Structure 1
Amino acid sequence: MLLKPIRPSNIAILGTFKCSAACQECCFECSPNLSQELSLHEIKSFINQATKINTVKFIVWSGGECFLLGKKLLDGISYAYEHNLVSRCVTNGFWASSLDEAKLILEPMAKSGLKELSLSTGDDHQQFVKIENILNATIVALNLGIIVAIAIETTKNSKFKKEDLVNHQLYKKYIKDKDIEKNLKIISTIWMSFHTDRTFKYEDILNVEKEYSGCDSLFDSIVLTPDKSIASCCGLTLEHIPEMHIGELNENNVNELYEKQFLDFIKIWIYVDGAAKILTKVKQWNTNIEYPKFVHVCQSCAYLYHNTEVMNTIKNNFQKIIEEVLEKYESKRVLRESLQELQVSH
């Protein structure tokens, strides 16, 4: 039976996987060598369809490096704004080689509807983009009224840390103790390896058990990738889980593809309990399974989908848990719907 679906709060457009950088641990394996990108027509069609869902309130532009889309990004932001969507861009800041260059890029985007900027930096990113670029982009964005988040790659091995950012001369001169500083958030993000020849250590940053409340990212977004694939989430392991791709964009199928997901029991279970808790339950059913140590909640999700023994154990035992899972889903759906109605009324 098709469950009553929850409604997403946002859409995400990964306009291209081309990037000015080629970080070794990029989750989407982006690089300057990739060329595929969405057309403006495809972007507009996706926005047209998604905004028919009245709970969708903002749009995330990512990739790859979304700023490589050039005027197409600017036009897309403007079109989204016309459809009452707040835009957030995720970028490595390669385009902000100076304050003047950053202003040249960001000023028209701010006028077109860009409200949030998320900048990525750290040891790997800085092999390609200087920290000065990040600060130039931050300074200009904050002065244009754009909210900024700086995400710093974090492992126990990390050389570049938050302290290095806030003690930089540009930060001290233009941001420190200024009124604009209140609109800046600096966050540590777990940087994990996608390769067997590189190992990171972690300390006091890992708490996979937080996923025990369920994966709220799943179903919250409708994602469009450069090959016109519609996907379930923007998780780090998205491109490693074929089941997260739910169909190809056409002129009238976004909502249909989104709602079909609610026939998928595994996704419902991940949404209410999270992959880590599911793996704990599977271990109770099959004590022969031994799990590796996970450093990120998305990693446990990819492991769940790729481990044949785990999936077979679920198929052989899910009837024992299905009623409880569906009850949890309905409770979570009703609560979410109530909160969304409150937000709309205000």
Structure 2
Amino acid sequence: MDRRKVFPRELVIHLTETCPLECSHCCVESNSSKTKALKNNEVLKIIGEAKSTNVFEKVCFVGGEPFLEYRTLTDSISFASKMNMSTSVTTSAYWAKTPSISYSKLSKLTEAGLQELCISFDDYHMEYVSLQYIINACYESIKLGLKVILSIVVEPNCLIDREYIERLLNKHPLLKKEVNLDITGVTTTGRAEAQNTENTLNDRAASKFNYSGPCMSALRQFSVYPNKEIVPCCGALPFNQMMSKGNINNSKLSDVIMDSFSDKLMKWIAFEGPMKLLAEIEISEFVDNENIQLDGICSGCNLIYTNQGVFNKLIEYLESRNDELKVIEAILDSVNMYQSPVLLSGKTNDI
């Protein structure tokens, strides 16, 4: 999937907000005391709706910890696979205590049609999950033919970084050959925002991983939270009602998509990114500019959607760029990098 193309392709399902871990950098603040989770029939319903739109290609299961909802996870993977949608699961691999346990868990999911396993592992996860668990999960996934991704969050002076993982993989030739790495910086939202310090904020803002360009998730991914709300991005923020475009109990996914593609702010986030938008307006009356530190686009969106004054100012500013927005859409459409989903429900998008 070409993430530069602005068009819905991935459905991200947050199966549960529960997690046996309580990592200090968790962007959605999951822990063992939170209990909201999507029901089996709710997940199957939204996957069915995604298929009926004829635009979604992949279903990604995340959490919390999706393995805690193992039956729903298995049934949902099977359902999506039968409709020729690819599937991915993101996990901490807390369950991979032995090779045999790992194989048992993963083989059932593979039989259901799972194609990709993304394992989160970094300094924060290592407080709770043994390195051996990660190795077990990787080996058994590879044996079963799964694509394996190690997702690593790094900070200045962290122990687990690219060099650490490469040294680890050098000791395991099969893993070195088959495991893919996805390395990012911390997203200072959720628990990471609540537990930050001025020093950590400064370090993150100065990090090479501080990405400030267009959001490659906005309008490309649509996320369903455990509270059943749908947002038009990857969902790497604690749920915010201002970002919601509907609820799976009373909104059709096709209507949610059409509403999202009529949202000028969301389009600009997809085209330019929140950091560039924030740089275009004066926000000092709403925030303390001397103390504010944004370490990437998720932090930027977090500011926009949690600060009503900033949000209103930005909406007002973007009204002056309506003609420019139409031109950008036309240009991107001409090179097949943007498609307004006019095919959905027989509706048209006139923006």
TM-score > 0.5 by shorter chain: yes
**How many angstroms apart in 1 are the aligned matches of 2:227 and 2:147?**
30
Q: Deviations over 1:250-283 (max 9, x none)?
A: 3761111221123322112212111111112114
CA RMSD of aligned residues (A): 2.6
Out of 209, 213, 221, the position equivalent to 1:206 is: 209
Give the alignment of 1:194-233 within 5 angstroms: 194-195=193-194, 197-198=196-197, 199-200=199-200, 201-202=203-204, 204-209=207-212, 211=213, 214-233=214-233
- The equivalent residue for 1:187 is 182
Cα separation, 1, equivalents of 2:316 and 2:256? 27
Q: Secondary structure at the match of 2:110?
A: helix
Alpha-carbon separation, structure 2, partners of 1:319 and 1:244: 19
The percent identity for this pair of structures is: 23
Give 1:134-149 correspondences, 5 Å limit. Answer: 134-149=134-149
Cα deviation code 1:223-254 (max 9, x no counterpart): 11111111211242252x32221111137611
The question of whether the paired residues in 1 share the 8 Å contact of 2:95 and 2:133 is answered with yes
User: Contact conserved, 2:77 with 2:87, CA < 8 A, in 1?
Assistant: yes
Residues in 2 aligned to 1:337 and 1:272: alpha-carbon distance in whole angstroms: 10
1:233 alignment partner, SS class: coil
The answer to whether the 8 A contact 1:12-1:224 is kept is: yes
Please name the residue that 1:249 is paired with. 248
**Secondary structure of the equivalent of 1:89?**
strand
1:276-329 residue CA offsets vs partner (Å, 9 max, x unmatched): 11112114999x983733212110111123334433433443332221123213
2:270 and 2:35 mapped to 1: Cα distance? 34
Matching residue of 2:74: 74
> Shift of the alpha carbon at 1:46?
0.4
Instruction: State the TM-score, normalizing by the size of structure 2.
Output: 0.84
Name the residue aligned to 1:272. 271
The 2-side partners of 1:195 and 1:165 are apart by: 28
Q: Which runs of 5+ in 2 are unaligned?
A: 1-5, 342-351
Q: Deviations over 1:37-59 (max 9, x none)?
A: 11111111001111112221111
Residue 146 of structure 1: how far off its partner (Å): 0.7
TM-score (norm 1): 0.85
On the 8 A contact 1:49/1:252 being kept in 2, the answer is no
SS in 2 for 1:44: helix
Q: How far apart, CA to CA, are the structure 2 residues paired with 1:337 and 1:267?
A: 14
Uncovered stretches (5+) of structure 1, i.e. residues with no partner: 1-5, 341-346
Contact 2:283–2:310 under 8 Å retained in 1: no
Moved more, 157-166 or 90-99: 157-166
Give matches, 1:6-21, under 5 Å: 7-21=7-21
State the partner residue of 1:336: 337
Measure how far apart 1:337 and its partner are: 5.3
Matched residue SS, 2:60: strand
Change (3 A) 1:230 1:311: closer
Q: Quick one: distance in 1 between partners of 2:177 and 2:53? A: 32
SS in 1 for 2:34: coil
Aligned residues: 325
Equivalent positions of 1:1-346 (< 5 A) are 7-168=7-168, 171-172=169-170, 175-176=172-173, 178=174, 181-191=176-186, 192=188, 193-195=192-194, 197-198=196-197, 199-200=199-200, 201-202=203-204, 204-209=207-212, 211=213, 214-239=214-239, 241-250=240-249, 253-283=252-282, 290=289, 292-334=292-334, 335-336=336-337
SS state at 1:114 partner: coil
Q: Compared with structure 1, are the counterparts of its residues 41 and 262 closer, same or farther at alpha carbon in structure 2 (3 Å cutoff)? A: same
- How far is 1:197 from its partner? 4.8
Aligned AA for 2:271? V
